[in-house]
C-alpha cells in the first residue's frame, strides 16, 4: 500500500505542479500589469498589418481633431483614471470602451461616426491600462463602476444631456454591466456592442482553439479561470453577458462579423434572442474579432449613425 500512495502522490505532483505553474504564468501574462509599459499606449499587435492600420488611422483622427480635445480625469474605486474628451459642441456624448490590452489611442479609431452624428466623444484608459492606475484586469466586473463614474463626469461636469456607450469585446461586456447596474442613472441611454461575447470563458476557449490548436487546454484553462476568480473577482464562467442581457432596458445595437472566431455567431444569436430591450442585430460578412469597421467602414458607420439618430 505504501508504494500505491507514493505512486499516486508522484502522479499528482507531475500533473498538479506543472498545471499550477503554467496557468499562473498565463494569468500573469494576460491579466496582470507587471510594468508601466505593459498595456500601455502603443499598438498591441505591432506585427499585424491590419491592426497597425487601424491604430494609425485612429492616431490620424486624433491629430485631425486635436483642437477639440482636452484631458479629463476621475477617481474611482481608489484608482486615478485618465481620459480625453473631444468637445464637438453636441448636447450628448459617447463613451468608447476598448477591450483588454487597449488604451484610449485605440479608441480613436471608432470615434468618427459619432462625430458625424453630432456627438461629443470621450475615450478612456481603462484601469490597469495606458496612463490610468491599476494592476489587475477584472474583465469588466469591477471596471463597470469606472464607466458609471465617467458618465457622471460627462453629465454633471461636462454638460452632456445623455451618454451612449460604445464597447468593443470586453468593453461591450463592461458597458452592459454598467447599464444593468442598479446604480445606472437614466441619462445613460444605450449601447453599441461590437463583438460582445456570451461570457469570457467561451471567448477565451475559442481564442485558445483558434490560436493554439495543438496545445493542451485542460486543465490549464480551467485553472486560469480559477485565478481570475480569486485575484480579479470576476466570475467569468457562471456570469457574463448571457446572464445580464435579460436585465437590459436600454436600446442596444449588436454588431457582429460572421468571421469572428472568438465571439461566434451562436453567441450573438443567443444574446440577441434573450435581450428584451429595443434591439437590432447587424451582421457583417468580413472582419475578424473587433475588426469589422476596418473591412466595411461605410456600412459600419452608417449603422451607428442610424442607431444614434433614433435615440
Does residue 1 surpass a pLDDT of 80?
Answer: no
**56's grid cell:** 494609425
Instruction: State pLDDT tens for residues 204-246.
Output: 988 877 766 555 567 888 889 999 999 999 999 999 999 999 9
**Parallel, antiparallel or unpaired: strands 93-97 and 120-124:** parallel
Instruction: State pLDDT tens for residues 133-176.
Output: 999 999 999 999 999 999 999 999 999 999 999 999 999 999 99
Its sign, for the CA torsion 54, 205, 180, 40, is negative
**143's grid cell:** 471596471
Write the DSSP symbol of residue 263: S
**151's grid cell:** 458618465
pLDDT band at 7 (very low <50, low <70, confident <90, very high): low
Instruction: State pLDDT tens for residues 188-201.
Output: 999 999 999 999 99
Instruction: State pLDDT tens for residues 78-129.
Output: 999 999 999 999 999 999 999 999 999 999 999 999 999 999 999 999 999 9
Domains defined along the chain, listed by start: 32-199+239-309 (3.40.50.1820)
Amino acid at each position: 500500500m505504501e508504494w500505491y500512495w507514493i505512486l499516486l502522490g508522484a502522479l499528482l505532483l507531475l500533473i498538479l505542479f506543472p498545471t499550477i505553474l503554467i496557468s499562473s504564468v498565463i494569468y500573469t501574462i494576460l491579466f496582470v500589469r507587471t510594468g508601466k509599459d505593459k498595456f500601455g499606449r502603443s499598438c498591441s499587435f505591432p506585427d499585424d498589418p491590419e491592426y497597425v492600420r487601424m491604430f494609425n488611422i485612429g492616431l490620424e483622427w486624433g491629430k485631425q481633431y486635436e483642437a477639440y480635445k482636452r484631458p479629463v480625469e476621475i477617481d474611482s474605486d481608489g484608482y486615478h483614471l485618465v481620459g480625453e474628451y473631444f468637445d464637438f459642441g453636441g448636447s450628448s456624448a459617447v463613451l468608447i470602451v476598448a477591450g483588454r490590452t487597449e488604451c484610449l489611442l485605440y479608441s480613436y479609431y471608432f470615434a468618427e461616426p459619432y462625430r458625424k452624428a453630432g456627438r461629443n466623444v470621450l475615450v478612456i484608459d481603462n484601469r490597469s491600462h495606458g496612463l490610468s492606475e491599476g494592476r489587475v484586469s477584472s474583465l469588466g466586473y469591477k471596471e463597470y463602476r469606472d464607466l458609471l463614474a465617467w458618465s457622471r463626469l460627462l453629465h454633471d461636469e461636462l454638460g452632456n444631456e445623455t451618454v451612449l456607450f460604445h464597447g468593443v469585446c470586453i468593453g461591450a461586456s463592461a458597458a452592459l454591466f454598467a447599464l444593468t447596474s442598479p446604480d445606472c442613472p437614466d441619462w445613460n441611454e444605450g449601447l453599441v456592442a461590437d463583438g460582445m461575447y456570451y461570457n469570457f470563458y467561451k471567448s477565451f476557449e475559442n481564442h485558445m482553439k483558434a490560436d493554439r490548436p495543438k496545445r493542451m487546454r485542460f486543465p490549464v484553462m480551467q485553472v486560469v479561470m480559477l485565478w481570475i476568480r480569486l485575484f480579479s473577482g470576476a466570475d467569468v464562467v457562471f456570469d457574463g453577458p448571457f446572464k445580464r442581457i435579460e436585465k437590459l432596458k436600454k436600446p442596444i445595437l449588436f454588431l457582429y462579423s460572421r468571421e469572428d472566431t472568438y465571439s461566434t455567431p451562436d453567441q450573438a444569436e443567443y444574446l440577441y434572442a434573450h435581450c428584451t430591450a429595443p434591439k437590432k442585430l447587424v451582421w457583417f460578412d468580413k472582419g475578424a474579432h473587433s475588426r469589422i469597421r476596418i473591412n466595411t467602414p461605410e456600412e459600419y458607420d452608417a449603422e451607428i449613425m442610424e442607431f444614434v439618430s433614433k435615440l
